Structure 1
């Protein structure tokens, strides 16, 4: 996203409410033993996964460009203290980083929101300790599906203009991608 204001700032309250009932399946994809691991939650949003990680015993630093979503995260931290360090920071730079490497980095459903993917992945590489791990989840680049598995609300899914045609898109619907859009990328672009 570079240095511009986060697209989520204008819809933060709506987003938190819209995603309130969503459970994060990301935890099942992470290493089983997180106790004492230093983790970075990159593009943490309102901190839902950050809290799951902290409850698993990890020492969590969580960054996001959206000050509005971070306000929700820090409010939750103030009433349910888990020791999470939230920073309003850009995932495409290391300006926020003090230099102490992380054991792992997670980026849950956010890489498609970051315009400069190469810079974000460079950040991951820079902040991970040697032998560290990176786990990410993202929108399926080939097949549409709402959070409930439906496809009706996604009339402009990128493959409609061709899977190989990468670029910015929005659904024009009421969901998250209708509000903030996303970068469509081929799976090979991520890997």
Structure 2
């Protein structure tokens, strides 16, 4: 499939999010478990896309600014804001530099399924540190780096209690890759595979301390769609704080 950008697939991606139960039924509740009470918080939704997470946080009383590189996704986000005014502010910018966002502007930052689409992870984490107030927090969700490697695949097993397993290869090969699944996001825009240790070490280098991690199982609908999720987590969510906060 021809390589594209999120800007190119904005309308398709918006529909994709609405049709896949993993976003609203798995990612969202676990994300909210890590953010906790957000009423009164000043939050950046970094690489916010069409704003689905920004809106959920704003509905819970947060003051939210969404930053994204793709103007077509931001146009969709703004359209949703006009349909349901929540006070979310949207800006165009590169998450690696977070231009337009002020130093120590936010009490918290969320980044959902986006760190794996960004080439320079360390620059992004340093930008997040810059825009957070002392003691600020970061919550992010990514495909699980241990199980969502470029060549990972499901396999049938002879055990009737655990009939599916995950074959993982290429874990140490950190690179951009494109999926062969014609119905998925990664076949269109690709991802950057990184080891779990890379995420943790670069968090520490950027001045963050791990507070909590979640490896959620599937919802009922998600398990029907991907039965192997009953056996192997395909998502990782992390909450980290600026060191000393």
TM-score normalised according to structure 2 size? 0.68
Question: Aligned to 2:9, which of 8, 11, 14?
Answer: 11
Cα distance per residue 1:18-51 (max 9 Å; x no partner): 1113302343333321111100000011100000
Alpha-carbon separation, structure 2, partners of 1:55 and 1:69: 20
**Residue 170 of structure 1 pairs with residue 174 of structure 2:** no
Q: Please state if 1:181 is matched with 2:178.
A: no
SS of aligned partner of 1:134 = strand
1:104·1:128 contact (CA, 8 Å) conserved in 2? yes
For the residues of structure 1 that align with 2:184 and 2:154, how far apart are their CA atoms? Answer: 12
Partner of 1:128 in structure 2? Answer: 132
Structure 2, gaps ≥5 residues long:
156-165, 201-245
- Are the aligned partners of 2:103 and 2:132 in contact in 1 as well (CA < 8 Å)? no
Higher RCO structure (Cα 8 Å, ≥6 apart): 2
Aligned-residue offset at 1:179: 1.1
Work out whether residues 96 and 120 of structure 2, in 8 Å CA contact, stay in contact via their aligned partners in 1: yes
Distance in 2 of aligned mates of 1:151 and 1:101: 43
Instruction: Name the counterpart of 1:3.
Output: none
User: What stretches of structure 1 of length at least 5 have no aligned partner?
Assistant: 1-5
Does the C-alpha gap of structure 1 residues 158 and 81 become closer, same or farther in structure 2, counting only changes over 3 Å?
farther
**Residues 128-157 of structure 1, C-alpha deviation per residue, up to 9 Å, x if partnerless?**
100111111101112139xxxx948xxxx9
Structure 2 distance, partners of 1:50, 1:72, is: 13
How many residue pairs match? The answer is 177
Question: What is the 5 A alignment of 1:29-178?
Answer: 29-144=33-148, 151=154, 159-160=168-169, 162-173=170-181, 174-178=183-187
Counterpart-to-counterpart distance in 2, 1:97 and 1:172: 37
Deviations 1:106-127 (A, max 9, x none): 0011100011111100111101
Per-residue displacement from partner, 1:76-118 (whole Å, max 9, x unpaired)? 0011000000001111113211345210010011100011111
